[in-house]
Chains A and B, each alone.
Chain A
Amino acid sequence: KNEVEQSPQNLTAQEGEFITINCSYSVGISALHWLQQHPGGGIVSLFMLSSGKKKHGRLIATINIQEKHSSLHITASHPRDSAVYICAVRSRGSQGNLIFGKGTKLSVKP
Protein backbone atom coordinates (compact mmCIF):
# COMPACT_ATOMS: atom_id res chain seq x y z
CA LYS A 1 0.00 0.00 0.00
CA ASN A 2 1.34 3.45 -0.92
CA GLU A 3 1.84 5.73 2.04
CA VAL A 4 1.11 8.78 -0.11
CA GLU A 5 -1.75 8.63 -2.58
CA GLN A 6 -2.53 11.34 -5.10
CA SER A 7 -5.60 11.85 -7.22
CA PRO A 8 -6.21 12.20 -10.02
CA GLN A 9 -3.22 10.58 -11.75
CA ASN A 10 -3.87 12.61 -14.89
CA LEU A 11 -5.84 15.81 -15.33
CA THR A 12 -6.66 17.74 -18.47
CA ALA A 13 -8.19 21.18 -18.12
CA GLN A 14 -9.08 24.14 -20.27
CA GLU A 15 -7.27 27.39 -19.73
CA GLY A 16 -8.98 29.39 -16.99
CA GLU A 17 -10.39 26.41 -15.11
CA PHE A 18 -10.01 25.93 -11.37
CA ILE A 19 -7.84 22.89 -10.64
CA THR A 20 -7.76 20.71 -7.54
CA ILE A 21 -5.22 17.97 -6.87
CA ASN A 22 -5.62 15.81 -3.81
CA CYS A 23 -3.14 14.03 -1.58
CA SER A 24 -3.87 11.54 1.20
CA TYR A 25 -1.26 9.99 3.44
CA SER A 26 -1.26 7.25 6.02
CA VAL A 27 1.74 8.09 8.24
CA GLY A 28 2.22 10.67 10.97
CA ILE A 29 3.95 13.63 9.44
CA SER A 30 5.85 16.71 10.47
CA ALA A 31 5.46 18.44 7.12
CA LEU A 32 3.95 18.05 3.66
CA HIS A 33 5.50 19.39 0.48
CA TRP A 34 3.93 20.20 -2.84
CA LEU A 35 6.43 20.05 -5.69
CA GLN A 36 6.23 20.82 -9.38
CA GLN A 37 8.17 18.77 -11.90
CA HIS A 38 8.51 20.14 -15.43
CA PRO A 39 8.87 17.99 -18.55
CA GLY A 40 12.64 18.52 -18.48
CA GLY A 41 12.69 16.81 -15.09
CA GLY A 42 13.58 19.69 -12.77
CA ILE A 43 11.75 19.86 -9.44
CA VAL A 44 10.59 23.09 -7.86
CA SER A 45 9.28 23.33 -4.33
CA LEU A 46 5.90 25.09 -4.27
CA PHE A 47 4.80 24.82 -0.66
CA MET A 48 5.75 23.29 2.64
CA LEU A 49 2.84 22.91 5.05
CA SER A 50 2.44 21.65 8.55
CA SER A 51 -1.00 23.11 9.16
CA GLY A 52 -3.68 25.35 7.67
CA LYS A 53 -3.39 27.02 4.32
CA LYS A 54 -0.80 28.80 2.20
CA LYS A 55 -1.23 30.95 -0.89
CA HIS A 56 1.28 32.02 -3.48
CA GLY A 57 -0.06 33.82 -6.52
CA ARG A 58 -2.64 31.55 -8.19
CA LEU A 59 -1.64 28.55 -6.09
CA ILE A 60 -3.29 27.59 -2.81
CA ALA A 61 -2.37 24.63 -0.63
CA THR A 62 -4.38 23.35 2.31
CA ILE A 63 -3.81 20.60 4.78
CA ASN A 64 -6.08 18.83 7.26
CA ILE A 65 -3.86 17.01 9.73
CA GLN A 66 -6.73 15.14 11.40
CA GLU A 67 -7.97 13.77 8.08
CA LYS A 68 -4.42 13.26 6.72
CA HIS A 69 -5.32 15.07 3.55
CA SER A 70 -3.97 17.97 1.55
CA SER A 71 -5.15 19.75 -1.57
CA LEU A 72 -3.38 21.90 -4.11
CA HIS A 73 -5.57 24.37 -5.99
CA ILE A 74 -4.71 26.37 -9.07
CA THR A 75 -6.99 29.27 -9.91
CA ALA A 76 -7.32 30.60 -13.48
CA SER A 77 -5.15 27.81 -14.87
CA HIS A 78 -2.81 28.54 -17.75
CA PRO A 79 -0.97 26.28 -20.22
CA ARG A 80 2.30 27.12 -18.48
CA ASP A 81 0.91 25.36 -15.37
CA SER A 82 1.20 22.07 -17.29
CA ALA A 83 3.54 19.88 -15.26
CA VAL A 84 3.56 16.97 -12.84
CA TYR A 85 2.54 17.99 -9.33
CA ILE A 86 3.98 15.85 -6.57
CA CYS A 87 2.93 15.55 -2.95
CA ALA A 88 5.63 14.44 -0.53
CA VAL A 89 5.49 14.00 3.24
CA ARG A 90 8.19 14.08 5.87
CA SER A 91 7.38 11.52 8.50
CA ARG A 92 7.64 12.53 12.14
CA GLY A 93 11.19 12.25 13.45
CA SER A 94 12.73 12.26 10.01
CA GLN A 95 15.05 14.97 8.79
CA GLY A 96 14.65 14.49 5.10
CA ASN A 97 13.26 11.10 4.34
CA LEU A 98 10.48 12.40 2.14
CA ILE A 99 7.89 9.88 1.01
CA PHE A 100 6.68 10.85 -2.42
CA GLY A 101 3.41 10.36 -4.18
CA LYS A 102 3.38 9.21 -7.79
CA GLY A 103 2.43 12.65 -9.01
CA THR A 104 -0.49 14.16 -10.90
CA LYS A 105 0.16 15.01 -14.51
CA LEU A 106 -1.67 18.24 -15.36
CA SER A 107 -2.20 19.40 -18.90
CA VAL A 108 -3.87 22.77 -19.44
CA LYS A 109 -5.13 23.33 -22.98
CA PRO A 110 -5.39 26.85 -24.47
Chain B
Amino acid sequence: EPEVTQTPSHQVTQMGQEVILRCVPISNHLYFYWYRQILGQKVEFLVSFYNNEISEKSEIFDDQFSVERPDGSNFTLKIRSTKLEDSAMYFCASRKGFLSSGANVLTFGAGSRLTVL
Protein backbone atom coordinates (compact mmCIF):
# COMPACT_ATOMS: atom_id res chain seq x y z
CA GLU B 1 0.00 0.00 0.00
CA PRO B 2 1.47 3.41 -0.95
CA GLU B 3 2.63 5.50 2.01
CA VAL B 4 3.44 9.07 2.88
CA THR B 5 6.92 9.05 4.40
CA GLN B 6 8.13 11.65 6.89
CA THR B 7 11.60 12.32 8.21
CA PRO B 8 12.88 12.74 10.82
CA SER B 9 10.55 10.89 13.15
CA HIS B 10 11.82 13.00 16.05
CA GLN B 11 13.96 16.13 16.11
CA VAL B 12 15.22 18.03 19.10
CA THR B 13 16.44 21.55 18.47
CA GLN B 14 17.41 24.68 20.33
CA MET B 15 15.15 27.72 20.29
CA GLY B 16 16.04 30.02 17.40
CA GLN B 17 17.40 27.25 15.18
CA GLU B 18 16.06 26.48 11.72
CA VAL B 19 14.32 23.16 11.22
CA ILE B 20 13.35 21.39 8.01
CA LEU B 21 10.81 18.58 8.13
CA ARG B 22 10.64 16.37 5.08
CA CYS B 23 7.81 14.49 3.50
CA VAL B 24 7.60 12.19 0.50
CA PRO B 25 3.94 12.15 -0.61
CA ILE B 26 2.41 9.34 -2.62
CA SER B 27 3.77 9.60 -6.14
CA ASN B 28 0.55 10.24 -8.11
CA HIS B 29 -0.93 12.63 -5.55
CA LEU B 30 -1.32 16.28 -6.43
CA TYR B 31 -2.39 18.02 -3.20
CA PHE B 32 -0.09 18.22 -0.22
CA TYR B 33 -0.70 19.39 3.34
CA TRP B 34 0.98 20.07 6.63
CA TYR B 35 -0.88 19.80 9.93
CA ARG B 36 0.39 20.02 13.46
CA GLN B 37 -0.72 18.68 16.82
CA ILE B 38 0.57 20.18 20.04
CA LEU B 39 0.71 17.55 22.77
CA GLY B 40 -2.74 16.98 24.26
CA GLN B 41 -4.47 19.28 21.79
CA LYS B 42 -6.38 18.83 18.57
CA VAL B 43 -4.85 18.63 15.14
CA GLU B 44 -4.59 21.99 13.34
CA PHE B 45 -4.26 22.81 9.65
CA LEU B 46 -1.13 24.69 8.61
CA VAL B 47 -0.95 24.84 4.83
CA SER B 48 -2.07 23.24 1.59
CA PHE B 49 0.02 23.13 -1.58
CA TYR B 50 -1.00 22.46 -5.16
CA ASN B 51 0.63 23.07 -8.54
CA ASN B 52 3.83 24.29 -6.90
CA GLU B 53 2.23 27.00 -4.83
CA ILE B 54 0.44 27.49 -1.56
CA SER B 55 -3.31 27.23 -2.10
CA GLU B 56 -4.40 27.89 1.46
CA LYS B 57 -2.79 28.62 4.80
CA SER B 58 -3.92 29.14 8.37
CA GLU B 59 -3.14 31.96 10.80
CA ILE B 60 -0.55 29.69 12.40
CA PHE B 61 1.44 29.62 9.17
CA ASP B 62 3.21 32.95 9.61
CA ASP B 63 6.44 34.29 8.10
CA GLN B 64 8.48 31.85 10.15
CA PHE B 65 7.08 28.96 8.14
CA SER B 66 7.66 28.06 4.52
CA VAL B 67 6.99 25.08 2.30
CA GLU B 68 8.75 23.88 -0.79
CA ARG B 69 8.63 21.08 -3.29
CA PRO B 70 12.27 21.22 -4.39
CA ASP B 71 12.07 18.19 -6.67
CA GLY B 72 9.45 15.78 -7.93
CA SER B 73 9.18 13.84 -4.71
CA ASN B 74 9.95 15.82 -1.56
CA PHE B 75 7.65 18.29 0.17
CA THR B 76 9.33 20.21 2.98
CA LEU B 77 8.22 22.39 5.86
CA LYS B 78 10.80 24.86 7.11
CA ILE B 79 10.60 26.74 10.39
CA ARG B 80 13.15 29.56 10.24
CA SER B 81 13.64 30.39 13.88
CA THR B 82 11.98 27.89 16.16
CA LYS B 83 10.12 28.94 19.30
CA LEU B 84 9.22 26.82 22.31
CA GLU B 85 5.59 26.83 21.20
CA ASP B 86 6.54 25.17 17.89
CA SER B 87 7.04 21.93 19.80
CA ALA B 88 4.45 19.60 18.31
CA MET B 89 3.88 16.60 16.07
CA TYR B 90 3.85 17.70 12.45
CA PHE B 91 1.88 15.59 10.00
CA CYS B 92 2.21 15.65 6.25
CA ALA B 93 -0.70 14.42 4.14
CA SER B 94 -1.48 14.06 0.47
CA ARG B 95 -4.42 13.26 -1.77
CA LYS B 96 -4.93 12.42 -5.40
CA GLY B 97 -7.28 15.19 -6.35
CA PHE B 98 -8.87 13.94 -9.53
CA LEU B 99 -12.60 13.36 -9.72
CA SER B 100 -12.38 9.63 -9.22
CA SER B 101 -12.97 7.15 -6.48
CA GLY B 102 -10.72 7.93 -3.56
CA ALA B 103 -9.66 11.26 -5.06
CA ASN B 104 -10.35 13.16 -1.86
CA VAL B 105 -9.16 10.60 0.65
CA LEU B 106 -6.26 11.94 2.64
CA THR B 107 -3.25 9.78 3.41
CA PHE B 108 -1.23 10.89 6.41
CA GLY B 109 2.39 10.31 7.21
CA ALA B 110 3.41 8.93 10.61
CA GLY B 111 4.42 12.40 11.80
CA SER B 112 7.58 14.19 12.83
CA ARG B 113 7.84 15.08 16.48
CA LEU B 114 9.61 18.39 17.00
CA THR B 115 10.90 19.30 20.44
CA VAL B 116 12.22 22.85 20.90
CA LEU B 117 14.35 23.43 23.99
A97 neighbours in B (Cβ, 8 Å):
45, 48, 56, 58
Size of the B side of the interface (Cβ < 8 Å), in residues, is: 26
Number of A-B contacts defined by CB within 8 Å: 60
Could you tell me how many residues of chain A have their Cβ less than 8 Å away from some Cβ of chain B? 22
Q: Which chain B residues in 60-117 approach chain A with CB under 8 Å?
A: 89, 91, 93, 95, 104-108, 110-111, 113
Q: Quick one: given A95-B31, A95-B48, A97-B58, are A42 and B107 in contact (CB under 8 Å)?
A: no
Q: Are B56 and A95 in contact (CB under 8 A)?
A: yes
Interface residues of A in 67-104 (CB under 8 A from B): 86, 88, 94-103
Write the A36-69 contact mask toward B (1 if CB under 8 angstroms, else 0).
Answer: 0000111111001000000000000000000000
Chain B nearest CB: distance from A28 CB in Å? 16
23 residue pairs bridging A and B, Cβ less than 8 Å apart: A31-B104, A33-B106, A35-B108, A40-B110, A42-B110, A43-B108, A45-B107, A45-B108, A86-B43, A94-B56, A95-B31, A95-B50, A96-B31, A96-B56, A96-B93, A96-B95, A96-B106, A97-B56, A98-B45, A100-B43, A100-B45, A101-B42, A102-B42
- Chain B residues within CB distance 8 Å of chain A: 31, 33, 35, 37, 41-45, 48, 50, 55-56, 58, 89, 91, 93, 95, 104-108, 110-111, 113
Besides A41-B37, A96-B95, A100-B42, 9 other A-B contacts (C-beta < 8 A): A43-B91, A43-B108, A45-B107, A95-B50, A96-B45, A97-B58, A99-B45, A102-B41, A103-B42
The 10 closest A-B pairs by CB, nearest first: A96-B48, A43-B108, A100-B43, A42-B110, A102-B42, A100-B42, A96-B33, A97-B45, A41-B111, A45-B106
